[in-house]
Amino acid sequence: MTRNVFGIIFFVASGFFVYIVNLLSFIDFPDVGSGKFLIMAFFCIPLVISHSIGLGLYRGNNWKISTGITFFVGALVNLFIVIVILLMASSPELAEITDTSSLSMFSDYSSGVTTMAICFISGITLYIFGKSNKIEAS
């Protein structure tokens, strides 16, 4: 029982890193250039470590379902935050109250949408294949 709880905690941590990697893909780092992908890769290291620990601790019999849910939920949280940031950037009332110039860094939509779509599609695909393998094994 406690192994499952700690496994789920590590899955939540890996979902957080999925969200961070997706959010970083939307940010345009003008000084970094192609180093942006190195920054994203750096945040993939704790993602893989925490997800591996979660898979090792969780007593579920199908890694595809757990990984699919983690990727899908991480991308879904990212989608929510992206919508919030876009709404904040387009709000004239907020621009009168605070300085919204820092939101201009949030402008690399091509890599952001691509990364988010990859996470959504891989999450759904892994979940579906995991469910079909579970049904076949029964």
Domain boundaries, the chain: 2-137
Tens digit of each residue's pLDDT, the chain (138 residues)? 889 999 999 999 999 999 999 999 998 877 766 778 888 899 999 999 999 999 999 987 789 999 999 999 999 999 999 999 888 888 888 878 888 777 888 888 898 999 999 999 999 999 999 998 767 665
At which residue do the structure tokens 């961070």 appear? 20
Nearest-angstrom CA–CA distance, 12 and 31: 32
- Read out DSSP for 4-21? HHHHHHHHHHHHHHHHHH
Q: Encode pLDDT of 62-89 as tens digits.
A: 899 999 999 999 999 999 999 998 888 8
Residues in Cβ contact with 17 at an 8 Å cutoff, skipping those fewer than 6 apart: 43, 44, 46, 47, 50, 74
Contact call for residues 49 and 128 (beta carbons, < 8 A): no
